[in-house]
């Protein structure tokens, strides 16, 4: 049983924090919107009105916020994690941010006496609810092992992938694969529909063959029905593909499909689909074929 501060009770953070409660940990949650904090308290957690209040007694601090500037905002400064967490606490950043920012903040965390891990997650809202997330962890091996019981309360696959920043690099690759796969599934559905094929039957047989993938398993049914309630928003995936393209440029790596996906995700966002699930790439695919 561990005292945990959880910062960021959004679509992903709330169920992750709730699973920590189910595992028997003491969890203090805080969020920009007080409604989420009140909801978390109603589920058996403890609420805090500020980062400083949330982290002061925590053995483990977890941040789960949208982007690099958001992480920096909650960990640095007079009211941040680094200024108020107790020495020796483990800081786990489960957000998806730029690898270079993760490396820089890890160094600052160590200077503040904390033990940092970058541990972005994959699996979407359903994975967060089920506690079946895949968690890719960057940091010191001994800290990863100490934090493993906490990580196992939120995920089913926890892998140490290297030093600080490595988790974010692997997550960037994950987001590239997921975006490309969603796009191919979307284009396939448009193609099949144009030929009058039974889409449910087609997905069933495709999922059983070499084309089988998690997007077909988890997203295709909703795509066919035109249901795009956000489990992971296009806005966020657009941000993540920006991380991919920037990191690729810094490494001198050419990613033609990645660059195309960044453009397509941006186009979906410009068409007003940003608040929808990333499976709404289907709407863009239909728009491009004049089949909206």
Q: Which residues are catalytic?
A: 171
Cα dihedral sign, 281-136-123-31: negative
CA 284, chain centre distance (Å): 23
3-state secondary structure of 37: helix
Distance CA 154, CA 260 (A): 33
Question: Residue 162 pairs with which residues in a beta bridge?
Answer: 138
Does residue 119 contact residue 135 with C-beta atoms inside 8 Å?
yes
Residue 76 CA: distances (Å) to CA of 34, 100, 120, 130, 156: 21, 16, 19, 32, 31
Q: Which of 109, 104, 5 is nearest to 64 (CA)?
A: 5
Does residue 285 contact residue 183 with C-beta atoms inside 8 Å?
yes
Q: Which residue has the tokens 């962890």?
A: 137
Distance CA 239, CA 83 (A): 28
Determine the straight-line distance between the first and last CA of the chain, rounded to whole angstroms: 52
Question: Residue 126 pairs with which residues in a beta bridge?
Answer: none
Q: C-alpha angle with apex 7: 117 to 77, nearest 5 degrees?
A: 80
């Amino acid at each position: 049983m561990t005292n945990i501060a959880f910062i960021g009770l959004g679509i992903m953070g709330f169920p992750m924090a709730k699973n920590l409660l189910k595992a028997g940990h003491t969890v203090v949650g805080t969020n920009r919107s007080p409604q989420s904090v009140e909801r978390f308290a109603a589920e058996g957690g403890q609420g805090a009105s500020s980062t400083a209040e949330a982290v002061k007694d925590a053995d483990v601090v977890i941040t789960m916020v949208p982007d690099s500037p958001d992480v920096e905002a909650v960990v640095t400064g007079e009211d941040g994690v680094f200024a108020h967490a107790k020495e020796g606490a483990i800081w786990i950043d489960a957000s998806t941010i730029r690898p270079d920012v993760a490396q820089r903040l890890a160094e600052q965390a160590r200077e503040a006496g904390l033990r940092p891990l970058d541990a972005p997650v994959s699996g979407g809202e359903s994975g967060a609810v089920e506690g079946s997330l895949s968690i890719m962890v960057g940091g010191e091996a001994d800290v990863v092992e100490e934090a493993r019981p906490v990580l196992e309360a939120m995920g089913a696959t926890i892998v140490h992938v290297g030093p600080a920043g490595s988790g974010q690099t692997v997550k960037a690759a994950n987001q590239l694969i997921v975006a490309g796969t969603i796009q191919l599934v979307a284009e396939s559905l448009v193609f099949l529909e144009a030929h009058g094929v039974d889409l449910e039957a087609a997905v069933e047989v495709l999922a059983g063959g070499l084309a089988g993938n998690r997007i077909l398993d988890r997203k295709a049914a909703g795509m066919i029905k035109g249901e795009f309630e956000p489990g992971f928003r296009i806005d966020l995936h657009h941000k993540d593909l920006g991380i991919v393209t920037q990191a690729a440029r810094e490494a001198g790596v050419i990613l033609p499909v990645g660059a195309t996906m960044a453009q397509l995700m941006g186009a979906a966002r410009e068409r007003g689909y940003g608040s929808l699930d990333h499976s709404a790439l289907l709407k863009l695919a239909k728009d491009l074929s004049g089949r909206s």
